[in-house]
Structure 1
Amino acid sequence: MRYCRGIDRLDFELVRSCYHPDGIDHHTGFDGTVDEYIAWVQPKLELLGGTMHAVGNHLVELYGDVAISETYSTNTHWERPGGDFTSGCRFVDLMERRDGRWAISERWAVREWTRSDTFTHPEATGPRGRRDNSDLLAELRTRLAAR
């Protein structure tokens, strides 16, 4: 869930925190370390109007300090050069507990399907998601931290 929030809000330190420092990621068009992944994905995401990851089924198989995690996700990307799209994927993760901390040691974003989409602008004024510290979630956190 932190990974999806980090991707959708362009919070790459949050994304990085989901992996062990030597973590490996495999996405469509990419294989490499977590730092290489962030360097690869950040400019791609910054070109978009936004993304939204909706997480569904989640299953963990525990083997002591190692686990296999499978998480279904539907991911929407809009205002993308080349066209808007939604894809279904499974995040298949090899997780490890090191020094009491669980994190991803290796991730495979297994693409199951992709469809082209056409998006329109919102039909009326109201709250809108932002991909920086002016997002409502960040504002609420700041407000509560000030208490």
Structure 2
Amino acid sequence: MAQRRSEWSDRQEIHEVVLRYCRGIDRVDMDLVRSAYHPGAIDHHTGFTGTVEEYLAWVEPLLRARARTGGTMHVVGNHLVELHGDEAVSETYGTSVHWGEPAHSARANFTSGVRFVDHMTYRDGRWAISERWAVREWTRSDAGRFMPKEGDGPAGRRDGQDPLTLLQQSITSRKAHS
């Protein structure tokens, strides 16, 4: 049965597209990143413009290399959606934090203020990005500013051992056995 759409549900689904993209990038989950786009979508990033498949081929090796010694974290702030039927303009303000080795490298350790300007479209029963402009508003070097954790505790991972992945697997496993 088809879900009934409303302005609220459209806005919520569009917001979740943005969040799925950020989680996918930060967890190096390319299937999740891909799910934020429609097939054939176009992405414009600093240093890259092309289709979503070309973007994934470009960004995945960069993320995997970074994940060996660090990572990324995207924090979403303001999010405004202008609905126009089955099309929407979505503007998301945020910060993108990048860290890695060597610790003194500005290219490995920086924070950027970003805006995701997205042309979202509703087709095939879902909202997704048709074209994205990842606008970098500013960048600052964080070289030499990161410190080690003060003690033991949960740590983010870019593999199947991240606390998020373990929790998801635990819940789906329990549901499968009940």
**Could you tell which deviates more after superposition, 71-80 or 104-113?**
71-80
1:5 has 2:23 as partner: yes
Equivalent position amino acid for 2:135 in 1: V
State the TM-score, normalizing by the size of structure 1: 0.97
In structure 1, the residue matched to 2:86 is: 65
Equivalent position amino acid for 1:108 in 2: W
Aligned length: 147
1 CA distance for matches of 2:113 and 2:101?
A: 17
What CA deviation, in whole Å up to 9, does each residue of 1:8-65 have, x standing for no partner?
A: 0000010001000111000000000001001111111112110000000000000000
Indicate the structure with greater helix content. Answer: 2
In structure 1, the residue matched to 2:14 is: none
Larger Rg: 2
Identity of aligned residues (%): 67
Alignment RMSD:
1.0
2 CA distance for matches of 1:41 and 1:101?
A: 24
Long gaps (5+) in structure 2: 1-18
Runs of 4 or more above 2 Å deviation? 80-83
Long gaps (5+) in structure 1: none
1:127 has 2:127 as partner: no
SS of residue in 1 equivalent to 2:21:
helix
In structure 2, the residue matched to 1:92 is: 117
Decide which of 54, 75, 78 is 1:54's aligned counterpart.
Answer: 75
What CA deviation, in whole Å up to 9, does each residue of 1:108-139 have, x standing for no partner?
A: 00000000002122121100011111110110
State the TM-score, normalizing by the size of structure 2: 0.80
Equivalent position amino acid for 1:26 in 2: H
